[in-house]
Amino acid sequence: MKAKQITRIVALLLLFVFLYLVRGILLPLIFAGIIYYLLNPIVNRLANKWPKGLGLNRDLSIFLAFILFVLVMLAAFQFIVPPFADEFGQLMTNSPQYIGQIRQMADSLRQWQLGNHLPKEISDVASSAIQNMFGYMLQFVQQGANALINMLSGIIYLVIIPIITYFLLRDDKNIVTGAVQMVPKEHQEVTTKILKQIDEVLKNYVTSQLIICSLVGAVVAVVLYLLGIKFALILGLVAAVSQLIPNIGPFIGAIPALVIALLASPLLALYVLIFYLIINVLVMTIIGPKVLGSRLNLHPLTVVVSVLVFGDLIGVWGFFFAAPITAILKILYLELRS
């Protein structure tokens, strides 16, 4: 192994150790980065010279992009949050009843096992699977709720995230240049190449996932509403968020809808199951490849394993960020190996 490669690997390992030690404060940086990738195309369109843009001042362009972002958020709070909050209140009110019904269903399944005189080994496996399924569901929901509460409780993020985003939008090129200059000259060329590849992956991932999640969430909410499923808005949001967990997320997102439909009627649960299978197959085989393409360049099995690994290392956020993190690690590996 060449001395340059050894130096790069050691530096990279030190960087990983540092990021792991400060992982508790990375959340505002991550959200600022997401907003940056959403607003940067708008800022560039406003700031670039004619005919590619309007030729406005960069700071003015950033200000206008922020205004647009705030207006979109206010519109969401005005038209989406009230009915969502109403559904959430109903869900919390009726949750004891639903939990009781679920327990009755689980008891019925156990009685069915005993009535059919299944071998003890099969009966034990089935009982364990039922208990684990509901246990994993409750654990995932609890972790997600805790992560959301922790994020919302950090009021300081409302100040820090816009400030970080502003400087990213205004000085992105200078930040990259400054980072490259901190690296020894013999490593600057490969560093520049790596940063460009990472930027391209993150840009494509954020914008593509926004489109996919919004589309899936809207379709699920509308179809479940038409089917008469309660809490269609909440279930649409769950479906949208679960799309961020690659490959296995959409199936996790289907479980709450199936449970709620099953509490109403088995036939309705069958309709919901068929619908989720169709929408998930469409996303995985047509919509996802068309919108996201193969820009992450990761095998599906690699993505599934990365979700499990980073979920264990980081917690609930590891599920959502496993794919881009793995794509970045692949870029670093390929460049450092050469």
Is 118's pLDDT higher than 60?
no
245 — alpha (psi -120 to 50), left (phi > 0) or beta?
beta
Is 99's pLDDT higher than 90?
no
pLDDT level of residue 263 (50, 70, 90 thresholds): confident
Q: Burial level of 46, CB count in 10 A (0-12/13-18/19+)?
A: buried
pLDDT digits (tens, 9 = 90+) for 308-328: 888 777 777 777 888 888 888
> Is 128 inside any structural domain?
no
> Is 254 inside any structural domain?
yes
Over residues 221-227, mean pLDDT: 92
Q: Which residue has the tokens 């794919």?
A: 323
Provide the pLDDT for residue 77. 76
> Is 208 inside any structural domain?
yes
d(CA 64, CA 46): 9
> Is 281 inside any structural domain?
yes
> Is 242 inside any structural domain?
yes
pTM over 0.75: no
- Percent residues over pLDDT 70 in the chain: 74
> Is 191 inside any structural domain?
yes
Give whole-number Cα distances, 31 to 15, 38, 281, in Å. Answer: 20, 11, 29
pLDDT level of residue 293 (50, 70, 90 thresholds): low
Is 38's pLDDT higher than 70?
yes
Q: What is the DSSP string of 143-199?
A: HHHHHHHHHHH-TTHHHHHHHHHHHHHHHHHHHHHHHHHTS-HHHHHHHHHHHHHHH
Q: Domain range holding 273?
A: 184-338
More confident residue, 111 or 220: 220
- Percent residues over pLDDT 90 in the chain: 15
> Is 216 inside any structural domain?
yes
Lowest mean pLDDT of 35-49, 223-237, 261-275, 317-331, name the range. Answer: 317-331
Lowest mean pLDDT of 6-15, 135-144, 203-212, name the range. Answer: 135-144
pLDDT digits (tens, 9 = 90+) for 232-259: 888 898 899 888 887 777 888 888 888 8
Lowest mean pLDDT of 15-24, 179-188, 232-241, 284-293, name the range. Answer: 284-293
> Is 38 inside any structural domain?
no
Cα of first residue to Cα of last residue in the chain, in angstroms, is: 10
More confident residue, 325 or 108: 325
Three-class SS state of 108: helix
Is 137's pLDDT higher than 60?
no
Could you give the number of structural domains in the chain?
Answer: 1
Provide the pLDDT for residue 180. 86
Q: Burial level of 35, CB count in 10 A (0-12/13-18/19+)?
A: buried
pLDDT level of residue 272 (50, 70, 90 thresholds): very high
Q: Which residue has the tokens 């899936």?
A: 216
